[in-house]
């Protein structure tokens, strides 16, 4: 007796729980591997899942086993040339005979690393583990531009599609009971009176009164029958009210210096930084828009391709970019509607007089609108005027403004972690 | 024999075709007297196969990270194409559950039905070890009970506490079997009914055993003293506890560990019961695979002769079968030990040959079976042996010659390896002996037993390891002792014996170096 069952439609991922348990248990190992790989990988790869290896010896499940040594007899197939009594030199070291006999040698097949693949989600979880976005607040809108229909009780008006049947029937029943009650009472009284009258001696009866009572009874019965089962004013509708939705969107301004002093290597580092920030924002907001602003002495809004790859030369005026960002915010991204982030990368050069302009611009105009401003300076050299100016701003907005120096590509991830590490401890 | 038209051709399958093949195979299997449990054949996807794989094929299992690790490594190997998934997985249960992957071609599905649903299935039902150690009808229910119980423990005591406990039990799961006693069958219903009762009862027993309240004599136990001089009052003359060495470590811990909570004892029991369920499988690999392979080969050939499958399917089958039973030589880069499919298939085929067309050599070696009814003999061999005894009994000179087996002695007192025997007249018996030992569970796993629980002294637990041909324990013993210590709660000692003398002592927690003498 046999039967076939098609299990294919059944749930997959029966092992999901076990998988998560494993990842949880070796969290620190995996995190280390992920950190290494973030630094190693090219930037476009970061979005994919990642192959991770952790040392196999850390995750073995121990059991009692035979060790090396003693006397063993191993039977193997495929003898070609040996005769009884032949002596063979031990292959490498004492008795590492890879005969596959016993568990010890099976497991010791030189697998030092336990490799597996993390999904993209799992990978990013590890990348951004322990980081938080400062001032992540859902902006409440005053204008009703983005709303969401929410059930808000019951109303007497509405469209037929939203009739609440239970409530309508309940209303109808209440009305029927309410309207019938006085009529029924009157009817009962009339009937009692009629009966009373009819029980009297025929001589004493008042035929006129009997007539009136009969008419009355008939009239009341008609009225009772005329009470409608369901009336228009019984109808109740589900009411939907339009609630303003908290804004779940962010815009990220990538600001980069493309003056002559910025080499391609600088830009690459900048790009990695922007990408990390973008991925991070993307996990916190439903929608993230990117605006690329590059500048030398003049700032310009460009597309991604141009932002990273076009070549420019010239001096550097940082304030040009900041004022452009300010204009763009005013024109397109109202702080009421958007969570605003600015990430700036530069090698620290600036026109001497400009740094104070930048400071004023930031202090007065930009900072109040922004959620967060991050500045990374990609330079091995000493800081210049811009850094000093920004330090003043940081002092004024310690939790909305962050700046770090990056010397080489390996620093990006640690710096990124420093910028966004959870502040609960401090 | 009339040739019929094939049931189907090509490589696509559908349920209707599979059912018709299944009926055809069932009819043939009946002819060969293959007695099976009912088959429950489940078609699954490759992802589901990976899931099944990582839970040792069990349809339901409790959660543990080690299964997740298993899953990740299977997935990785599969993705990289290093490993094809097994075409089938079959579970010793009643009904016998077999998984077929949807990606398989028609030929593979038919092959798997023959191999798993009639080969393995009849082995599970017929072999004496499975009969004695497992209860096929109860296993799925028991797994369900185990999973629910462990879920409940996780809820009550936290995932981490349960995980640590399971880690410790898993480390000892090969030592959770009574080898010489037939265990009582596991049944989920009775299990949950009696479970609460048992918890209460067990705890009272432990309490008695570990009671430090003075009994009749009014003597309080005092710390270690083994000599009579130190124990003039004879406080320690009650003999060892346990009086006999115990080989079932998990059972001993479940019943005697002083500090375990009742739920922890139940978890130990679950791991022990599941280990017991797998115990026969570990001892019958060659036989089980050989038997299934022999039957898929025989059944496929019969179907071809009867015209139920066409030449195309047959050629595809032969190619796949050849790959399954290939045995690379020891010096081949593909060598990975003796292939149980190859050895088992060769041996069962050889038994048939000895019965049907014995040579002079066979008559000399196998006077009992040479020329007997092959089907009868084959069933007898399947039912009454395990790998160790099966090889001892049935490995013929011809198979040794065909596989060119040779045995090598690796002795750490000798600076080179020595070829002890090859496939010649002088060597057959020695090779057979050596190969049989190679499959003996007792030689593959160190022999470790509970020697003494010092219930009147420092409560330490002493284990004894009897060395097998001077082979020491691998370094993994330290983490295992650590796990043991977690379960027992007091110091663990382990003595390695060779020829009746203690040659090494281990202790956990690692003692003060000043005190350590071994």
| pLDDT tens-digit readout, B261-313 | 999 999 999 999 988 888 898 899 999 999 999 999 999 999 999 989 988 88
Distance, in Å, from the CA atom of B430 to the CA atom of B87, rounded to the nearest integer, reads 36
* Nearest beta carbon to residue B22 from set A2, A69, A74: A2
* Nearest beta carbon to residue A4 from set B41, B469, B470: B41
The whole-number average pLDDT for the span A401-419 is: 81
Q: Which of A209, A240, A271 is the endpoint of a domain?
A: A240
B447-453 vs B406-411, strand pairing mode: unpaired
How many structural domains is chain B composed of?
2
**pLDDT over 80 (residue A137):** no
* Residues in chain B within 8 Å Cβ distance of A12: 45, 47-48, 51
3-state secondary structure of B69: helix
Compute CA distances B472 → A99, A336, A353, B40, whole Å.
Answer: 18, 74, 79, 45
Lowest mean pLDDT segment, chosen from A179-183, A406-410, B164-168, B381-385: A406-410
For residue A15, name the pLDDT band (cuts at 50, 70, 90): confident
> Which tens digits make up the pLDDT trace of A256-298?
888 777 777 788 788 778 888 888 877 777 778 888 888 888 8
In a domain, A178, yes or no: yes
In a domain, B342, yes or no: no
Nearest to B319 by CA among B6, B3, B4, B11: B11
B172 close contact with A: CB closer than 8 A:
yes
In a domain, A384, yes or no: yes
Backbone torsions φ then ψ of A8, nearest 5 degrees: -60, -40
Q: Which of A193, A223, A240 is the endpoint of a domain?
A: A240
Q: Is B416 in contact with A1 (Cβ distance < 8 A)?
A: no
How many structural domains is chain A composed of?
3
Query: Do residues A388 and A409 share a domain?
Result: yes
In a domain, B29, yes or no: yes
Q: Is A97 in contact with B408 (Cβ distance < 8 A)?
A: yes
Domain housing B503: 446-508
**pLDDT over 50 (residue A424):** no
Distance, in Å, from the CA atom of B305 to the CA atom of B297, rounded to the nearest integer, reads 12
Distance, in Å, from the CA atom of A208 to the CA atom of A216, rounded to the nearest integer, reads 12
**pLDDT over 70 (residue B44):** yes
Query: Do residues A377 and A293 share a domain?
Result: yes
Domain housing A32: 21-58+114-129
In a domain, A92, yes or no: no
Distance, in Å, from the CA atom of A214 to the CA atom of A129, rounded to the nearest integer, reads 88
Q: Is A20 in contact with B418 (Cβ distance < 8 A)?
A: no
Q: Is A64 in contact with B102 (Cβ distance < 8 A)?
A: no
The whole-number average pLDDT for the span B123-141 is: 89
Q: From the candidates A79, A92, A112, A123, which should be mutated to test the interface with B, based on the most B CB atoms within 10 A?
A: A79
Q: What's the predicted TM-score (pTM) here?
A: 0.72
Average pLDDT score, chain A: 80
Lowest mean pLDDT segment, chosen from A121-135, B120-134, B192-206: B192-206
Residue B16: count of CB within 10 angstroms of its CB: 11
Q: Which of B74, B95, B127 is the endpoint of a domain?
A: B127
For residue B207, name the pLDDT band (cuts at 50, 70, 90): low
In a domain, B320, yes or no: no
DSSP H or E segment with residue B194: helix B188-209
Query: Do residues A169 and A265 share a domain?
Result: no
What are the strands of the beta sheet with B406-411, ordered from one edge? A71-76, B406-411, B416-421, A87-89
**Which are the contacts of B510, defined by CB distance < 8 A and separation ≥ 6?**
none
């Amino acid at each position: 007796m046999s039967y076939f069952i098609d299990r294919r439609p059944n749930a997959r991922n029966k092992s999901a729980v076990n998988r998560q348990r494993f990842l949880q248990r070796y969290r620190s190992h995996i995190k280390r591997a992920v950190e290494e790989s973030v630094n190693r990988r090219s930037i476009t790869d970061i979005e994919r899942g990642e192959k991770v290896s952790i040392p196999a010896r850390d995750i073995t499940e121990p059991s009692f086993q035979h060790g090396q040594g003693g006397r063993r007899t191993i039977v193997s197939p495929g003898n070609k040339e040996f005769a009884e009594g032949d002596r063979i030199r031990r292959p490498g070291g004492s008795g590492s005979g890879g005969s596959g006999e016993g568990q010890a040698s099976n497991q010791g097949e030189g697998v030092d690393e336990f490799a597996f693949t993390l999904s993209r989600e799992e990978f990013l979880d590890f990348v951004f583990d322990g980081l938080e976005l400062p001032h992540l607040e859902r902006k409440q809108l005053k204008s009703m531009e983005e709303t969401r229909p929410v059930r808000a009780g019951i109303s007497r008006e509405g469209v037929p599609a939203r009739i609440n049947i239970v409530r309508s029937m309940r209303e109808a029943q209440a009305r029927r009971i309410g309207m019938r009650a006085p009529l029924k009472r009157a009817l009962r009284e009339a009937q009692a009176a009629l009966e009373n009258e009819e029980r009297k001696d025929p001589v004493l009866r008042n035929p006129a009164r009997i007539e009136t009572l009969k008419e009355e009874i008939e009239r009341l019965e008609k009225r009772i029958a005329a009470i409608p089962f369901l009336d228009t004013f019984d109808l109740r509708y589900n009411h939907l009210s339009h609630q303003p939705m908290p804004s779940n969107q962010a815009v990220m301004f990538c600001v980069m210096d493309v003056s002559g002093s910025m080499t391609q290597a600088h830009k690459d580092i900048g790009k990695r930084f922007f990408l990390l920030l973008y991925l991070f924002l993307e996990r916190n907001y439903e929608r993230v828009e990117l605006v690329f602003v590059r500048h030398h002495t003049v700032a310009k809004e460009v597309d991604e391709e141009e932002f990273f790859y076009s070549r420019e030369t010239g001096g550097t005026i940082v304030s040009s970019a900041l004022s452009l960002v300010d204009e763009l915010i005013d024109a397109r991204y109202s702080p009421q509607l958007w969570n605003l982030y600015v990430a700036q990368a530069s090698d620290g050069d600036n026109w001497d007089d400009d740094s104070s302009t930048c400071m004023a611009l930031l202090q007065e105009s930009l900072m109040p609108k922004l959620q967060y401003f991050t500045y990374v300076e990609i330079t091995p050299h000493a800081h210049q005027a811009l850094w000093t100016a920004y330090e003043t701003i940081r002092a004024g907005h310690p939790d909305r403004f962050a700046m770090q120096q990056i010397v080489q590509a390996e620093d990006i991830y640690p710096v990124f972690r420093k910028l966004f590490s959870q502040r609960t401890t401090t | 024999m009339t040739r019929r038209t094939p049931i189907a051709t090509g490589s696509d399958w559908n349920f209707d075709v599979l059912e018709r093949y299944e009926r055809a195979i069932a009819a043939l299997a009946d002819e060969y007297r293959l007695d099976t449990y009912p088959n429950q054949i489940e078609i699954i996807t490759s992802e589901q196969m990976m899931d099944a794989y990582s839970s040792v094929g069990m349809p339901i299992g409790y959660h543990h990270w080690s299964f997740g690790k298993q899953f990740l490594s299977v997935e990785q190997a599969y993705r990289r194409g290093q490993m094809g998934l097994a075409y089938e997985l079959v579970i010793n249960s009643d009904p016998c559950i077999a998984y077929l992957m949807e990606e398989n071609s028609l030929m593979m599905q038919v092959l798997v039905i023959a191999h798993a649903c009639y080969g393995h299935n009849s082995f599970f039902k017929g072999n004496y070890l499975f009969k004695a150690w497992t209860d096929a009808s109860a296993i799925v229910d028991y797994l369900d009970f185990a999973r629910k119980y462990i879920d409940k423990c996780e809820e009550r005591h936290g995932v981490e506490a349960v995980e640590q406990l399971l880690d410790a039990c898993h480390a000892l799961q090969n030592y959770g079997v009574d080898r010489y006693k037939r265990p009582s069958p596991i049944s989920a219903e009775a299990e949950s009914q009696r479970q609460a009762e048992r918890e209460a009862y067990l705890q009272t027993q432990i309490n008695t055993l570990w009671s430090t309240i003075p009994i009749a004599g009014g003597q309080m136990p005092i710390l270690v003293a083994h000599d009579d001089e130190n124990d003039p009052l004879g406080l320690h003359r009650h003999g060892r506890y346990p009086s006999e060495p115990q080989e079932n470590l998990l059972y001993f811990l479940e019943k005697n560990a002083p500090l375990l909570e009742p739920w922890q004892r139940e978890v130990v029991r679950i791991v022990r019961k599941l280990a017991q369920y797998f115990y026969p499988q570990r001892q019958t690999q060659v036989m089980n695979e050989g038997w299934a392979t022999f039957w898929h080969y025989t059944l496929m050939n019969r179907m071809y002769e009867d015209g139920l499958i066409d030449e195309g399917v047959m050629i595809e089958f032969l190619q796949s079968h050849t790959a399954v039973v290939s045995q690379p030589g020891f010096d081949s880069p593909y060598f990975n030990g003796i292939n149980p499919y190859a050895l088992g298939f060769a041996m069962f085929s050889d038994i048939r040959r000895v019965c049907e067309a014995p040579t002079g050599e066979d008559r000399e070696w196998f006077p009992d079976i040479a020329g007997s009814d092959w089907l009868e003999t084959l069933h007898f061999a399947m039912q009454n042996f395990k790998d160790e005894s099966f090889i001892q009994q049935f490995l013929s000179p011809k198979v040794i010659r065909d596989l060119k087996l040779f045995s090598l002695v690796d002795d750490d007192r000798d600076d080179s390896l020595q070829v002890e025997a090859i496939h010649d007249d002088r060597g057959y018996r020695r090779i057979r002996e050596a190969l049989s030992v190679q499959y003996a569970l007792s030689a593959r796993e160190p022999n470790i037993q509970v020697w003494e629980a010092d219930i009147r002294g420092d409560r330490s637990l002493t284990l004894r390891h009897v060395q097998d041909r001077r082979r020491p324990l691998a370094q993994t013993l330290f983490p295992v002792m650590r796990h043991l210590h977690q379960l027992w709660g007091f110091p663990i000692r382990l003595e390695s014996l060779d020829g009746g003398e203690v040659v090494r002592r281990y202790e956990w927690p690692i003692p003060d170096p000043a005190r350590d003498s071994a």
